[in-house]
């Protein structure tokens, strides 16, 4: 399970979550098919973002978009509590 990094903001404004799909696409597309060195920082970012979304965002779709971006880059790690909201996302 991945824990968010210490440097993340405590709370994201609600309109931030409206932009997540574009943010994920912009970060994932350029590194699809690249080596681990290029993918690793994006995967770390998405893990942190997903952990934050699971705590702060009320949209299952947002969490799914982030998780899908991680999977496209080959990351299969589990994020978040197995019994919390969006546990089966």
Q: What is the pLDDT of residue 81?
A: 59
Q: What does the pLDDT look like over 27-78, one tens digit per residue?
A: 999 999 999 999 999 999 999 999 999 999 889 999 999 999 999 999 999 8
pLDDT band at 21; cut points 50, 70, 90: very high
Q: Hey, what long-range contacts does 77-83 have (CB within 8 A, 24 or more apart)? A: 77/1, 77/2, 77/47, 78/1, 78/2, 79/1, 79/2, 79/47, 79/50, 79/51, 79/54, 80/1, 80/50, 80/51, 80/54, 81/1
Residue 9 has pLDDT above 70, yes or no: no
């Amino acid at each position: 399970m991945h824990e968010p990094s210490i440097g993340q903001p405590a709370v994201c404004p609600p309109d931030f979550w409206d932009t997540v799909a574009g943010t994920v696409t912009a970060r994932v597309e350029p590194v699809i098919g690249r080596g681990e060195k290029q993918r690793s920082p994006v995967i770390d970012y998405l893990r942190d973002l997903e952990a934050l979304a699971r705590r702060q965002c009320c949209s299952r779709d947002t969490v799914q978009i982030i998780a899908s971006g991680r999977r496209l880059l080959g990351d299969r790690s589990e994020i978040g509590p197995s019994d919390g909201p969006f546990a089966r996302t």
